[in-house]
Amino acid sequence: MGQQLGWGRKYLMVRPDHFRIDYVINPYMSTQDQPDPELALRQWSALRLAIIDAGGEVEVLDQRPDSPDMVYAMNLGLAAAPTEEFAGGRAMLSHMRFEPRRKESVTAAGWFTEHGFALDRTGAEGVGPHFESGDAFVFGDSLVVGYGPRTEEEALKHLAAGWNIRVRGLRITHEGMYHLDLPFCPIDSTHALVYPPALDAASQAELFGIVPDPIVLTDEEAFAFSGNSLVVNDTVIMPACSARLHDILTGLGLRIVVLDLSEFHKGGGSARCLTNPLDFDLAAASVVGGEVVLPG
């Protein structure tokens, strides 16, 4: 097993007080299949407690009544841990591709500012390149960013130059894997759950160059949202875990917690989507002037 991840011990979550399906922006959504509010809250609460039990911290943000997807907190913004230059941390707000979700960023901006984060943006009010933080993970010497369905390629340049970091892009081409947090889940410093069919051929090759020890998901595992898991210390919190994955992960010395998050699958997300890491450490990705590495 590699070293434990240097992030993933502090999260922002949004209580699902107004979670519902008002529109369709991914293949999982249907306005005819509404979540049960009481069950959704129980499932969300179980996830919050599982993070705390694993040694993590959770901040909770109230949900806007006019933003039913805001419960998928992973997309509120990319949050970097405090540094010497930014003592309160730094956040790149998401610039949502779909207009119904853009009000979420207004509330997120207030929360990040109140909690000491310096704010950056790739665009606003539909102008400028779109960036959604569910496409971004720190791994190895880079910020790995998926682009295509939601995040635009141009946004990678803003991230790299604005934060003086190395950004490695992966082009997502599968409509069912519209954010990188569905086919890519860092496990430790060398392992990650990956689903290569989510990417184009050049990005698949790049992915295997980024991850020294990939754990390749089957179709069944990927579409059970197994790649949308999260790691807190030595615990992997998952919405589904096959016997095969269980053997692999426990063989790495990890503890597995499987939770029923089925109400949130109706909106196209699961454990990772519901949690926004507030402690990404970008030190290893630091490059003066920034650098973008694209597939091929």
Q: Mind listing the pLDDT tens digit for each residue in 92-140?
A: 999 999 999 999 999 999 999 999 999 999 987 778 899 999 999 999 9
Q: Mind listing the pLDDT tens digit for each residue in 38-57?
A: 999 999 999 999 999 999 99
Local confidence pLDDT in tens for the 296 residues of the chain = 789 999 999 999 999 999 999 999 999 999 999 999 999 999 999 999 999 999 999 999 999 999 999 999 999 999 999 999 999 999 999 999 999 999 999 999 999 999 999 999 998 777 889 999 999 999 999 999 999 999 999 999 999 999 999 999 999 999 999 999 999 999 999 999 999 999 999 999 999 999 999 999 999 999 999 999 999 999 999 999 999 999 999 999 999 999 999 999 999 999 999 999 999 999 999 999 999 999 98
Does residue 256 contact residue 241 with C-beta atoms inside 8 Å? yes
Locate 243 and state its tokens. 């016997």
pTM for this model (two decimals): 0.96
pLDDT for res 197: 98
Radius of gyration, alpha carbons of the chain: 17
